[in-house]
Structures are given as C-alpha cells and as structure tokens.
Amino acid sequence: MVKKKRVPIIFEDDAIIVCEKPAGMPVQSDHTRDLDVLTTLKHHIFEEQAGEEEPYLTVVHRLDRPVGGLMVLAKTKEAAASLSKQIQEFEFEKNYQAVVCGNLKEDFGTFEDYLLKNGKTNKTEVVKAGTPDAKKAELDYELIDCIETKEGILTWVLVILHTGRHHQIRVQFASRGLGLYGDTKYNPAFQKTKKKYTEIGLYSTRLSFLHPVTGERMTFKTEPCGEAFEKMDVEAF
C-alpha cells in the first residue's frame, strides 16, 4: 500500500498542469485503489476553484507506476487535443535519466525495435518487424557516468524518447542485457529478490512542448531522485 503522497505542482495555468509524479504512485486509479496522480490533482483544482462540479483534467501521456518525474496534464479538451497531436507528430520532447546494470558498448547511440504488448501479463517484448500488432519503438541514449559497485557495473544514461510504447525504455535496455536497476519485471538480477520495489532507476527529467493556447515553447527540467541515482552519486563522488 502506497502511503499518501503529495504531488508537487511545477507549473499551472488555465490549460495545463505540470507536476512531478512520485515514484510508486499510479497515474490513474487502478485495482490497488491507492492514491493516484489524476485524483490528487483533481482534488487540488476542486479546492482552488471552490466549485460544485468535478473539474476536467485528463492524462495525455503516462509514466509507469515505479517511475517518478515530470508529467503534464490537460485542464481542457482543447489543450488535451493539442498536446496529443504534438505527441503524435513528434513535437513533444521527453527525456529520461536511467541507471542500468552493465556496460554500454557505445557512449551514445540509438535503439530501434518492434515491441509487442501482452495484455494478460502486462509485459512487452521485442519481436521481429512485421509481427502482427507490433509497434516500432525508437530512442537515443547518451552516457552520463559508469561506476563499479559491489553489485557490478552500473551505468547512468540520458534517454531521449522518440516513441511512447508500453514499458519501452525498460524493455529496450533489458533486451540488450542492460536491465534497469531495481526493475523486478524485466531485469533478471532483481526478479528473485524478496524486496518489493516501488521505484526503479528511471526518471522523467525533462519535458518540452508548445503551450496549447499561446504556442510558446515550454521546457521543464528536474533532477532525478531515488535509490539508484543516490547510489550513483555516492559511489561516483
């Protein structure tokens, strides 16, 4: 059960809310009935407006439950349509920082794969091009740091996401033997642990998009936090 957490608001106006999602909190209500980002922010708007009706607020992109970091939500249908269109047309920029187990072969590069989601297991796998229902996934990565620990080599990377597939970053790195630190779903090194992780070495660190009303380019940045990133900082310095 996730304890009650505040959702920090980074920016808000009449069209959008940019927030920092806590790791371990679901974006929307799920079977656990734990407090979620959408409900928390709806309560915030309701209290601010002192209205009698439930405010409009919708999710336009998602973060996996174990992942923390920046998100933007739309407060109007028009804003939601604008942001969704930017995502579809690759005008919406999403950058992550990740800690993976193992060594990268190159300091920077591109991963291109076809991914297929299994709805029954809620897992995604890399498949051959042409597989029915598979979707192309693409990201760029750049090395930030690499250290030797008692648990083996850990690598800190910047990830520039070009597509938003289910568990994309986790799957694409894991398929290359570079599972994310703390990921009990895709990293074999953590699948046998008895500890139930609520966060992994992945953080949404930068968003950049056109404001749905003014058209102004807006960019938001935050530094990652959590066990994996604290380990990198402590070990590296």
User: Each residue of 143-165: pLDDT tens digit?
Assistant: 999 998 888 899 999 999 999 89
What span, in angstroms and rounded, lies between the C-alpha atoms of 4 and 35?
A: 7
The first and second tokens of residue 113, run together, are 């794969």
What tens digit of pLDDT does each residue of 51-106 get?
678 899 999 999 999 999 999 999 999 999 999 999 999 899 999 999 999 999 89
CATH number of the domain enclosing 19:
3.30.2350.10
Q: How confident is the model at residue 47 (pLDDT cuts 50, 70, 90)?
A: confident
What span, in angstroms and rounded, lies between the C-alpha atoms of 211 and 79?
A: 8
Residue 115 domain flag: yes
Beta carbons of 52 and 9 less than 8 angstroms apart: no
* Span of 81-95, 105-119, 159-173, 196-210 with lowest mean pLDDT: 196-210
* More confident site: 142 or 54: 142
Helix (H, G, I), strand (E, B) or coil at 66: coil
Look over the chain and give the mean of its residue pLDDT values, rounded to a whole number: 90
Question: For the purposes of burial, counting CB atoms within 10 Å of the CB of 21, is it exposed (0-12), middle (13-18) or buried (19 or more)?
Answer: buried
For residue 235, the model assigns a pLDDT of: 57
Residue 14 domain flag: yes
Q: Is the pTM of this model over 0.85?
A: yes
Residue 2 domain flag: no
In the predicted structure, residue 237 carries a pLDDT above the cut 50: no
Q: Average of pLDDT values for 124-152?
A: 93
Residue 81 domain flag: yes
Q: Domain total for the chain?
A: 1
What tens digit of pLDDT does each residue of 18-45 get?
999 999 899 988 777 889 999 999 999 9
In the predicted structure, residue 2 carries a pLDDT above the cut 50: no
For residue 230, the model assigns a pLDDT of: 85
Domain residue limits at 212:
9-236
Q: Average of pLDDT values for 113-117?
A: 96
Backbone angles phi, psi at 141, to 5 degrees: -135, 155
Helix (H, G, I), strand (E, B) or coil at 42: helix
Residue 65 domain flag: yes
What span, in angstroms and rounded, lies between the C-alpha atoms of 91 and 131?
A: 28
Percent of the chain with pLDDT strictly greater than 90 = 74
Beta carbons of 211 and 15 less than 8 angstroms apart: yes
In the predicted structure, residue 11 carries a pLDDT above the cut 70: yes
Residue 43 domain flag: yes
For residue 156, the model assigns a pLDDT of: 96
For residue 173, the model assigns a pLDDT of: 97
Residue 163 domain flag: yes
In angstroms, what is the C-alpha Rg of the chain? 18
Residue 193 domain flag: yes
